[in-house]
Structure 1
Amino acid sequence: MLMLNLMAAPQGGAPNQAASLMMVFGFIAIFYFLFFRPQRKQQKEHAELVKNLKRGDKVSTIGGIVGEIVHLTNDIVTIKSGDTRVEVERSKIGKVN
């Protein structure tokens, strides 16, 4: 008798699959708008900043070096900080002061 009760189908019925599917899509939308979209926007802003660098700009690197751009190539930026010159990759420029 106990075996028959365990093998019987649940009385509540099957859960609504459309509601479950909508909940999954809702979570995907939340993750997109909270995580992926802002990150992509920040990446575009940084790419635009790096693209528009010019000689004479005062910049800060991601590592904390502050100085003035004295030479630019496609991938390398030469920064004068005090009496020294440092070569840094363009992508490592954090902000223009």
Structure 2
Amino acid sequence: MDLFISKAYAAGEPAQQGGGMEMLLMLLVFGVVFYFMIYRPQAKRVKEHKNLMAAIAKGDEVLTQGGVVGKVSKVSDEKDFIKVTVAEGIELTVQKGAVSAVLPKGTMKSL
């Protein structure tokens, strides 16, 4: 019957407790990885988008987050809105934050 049942022996000394220094070091490494992998690239993207919105001028061809391509006809600095001409006689009022890219001149003609 001893073939199927293993024998139980008394436990030896309890395992040593790890010091707080290893835990602190692990948290520090995790913080550094979090900063370089998540926070820094996101902050860079936000800064680039803010500069893009500040540089929008009349006559620029823009692409909105909704996929609309048009030419900026009016920029309102105090209200953070722009007017985008999509086609002859059709203007849309768009929030500056909705602009995802400024396209090179002549892009609308090539579409």
Same fold (TM over 0.5): yes
1:69, CA displacement in angstroms?
Answer: 0.3
**Pairing 1:95–2:98 present:** no
1:86 to 92, 98, 109: 92
Percent of pairs with identical residues: 28
Q: How many residues align?
A: 90
Correspondence list, 1:44-55, <5 A: 44-55=47-58
Structure of larger gyration radius? 2
**Equivalent residues in 2 for 1:1-97, closer than 5 Å:** 11-74=14-77, 75-83=80-88, 84-97=90-103
The CA RMSD over aligned residues, in Å, is 1.6
Structure ranking higher in helix proportion: 1
Unmatched segments (≥5 aa) in structure 2: 1-9, 104-111
How many Å apart are 1:20 and its aligned residue? 1.2
Relative to the length of structure 2, the TM-score reads: 0.75
Q: Deviations over 1:8-58 (max 9, x none)?
A: xx6332202111110011111111110111000000000000001100000
The normalised TM-score by structure 1 is 0.86
Runs of 4+ more than 6 Å apart: none
Q: Report what 2:3 is aligned to.
A: none
Gaps of 5+ in 1: none
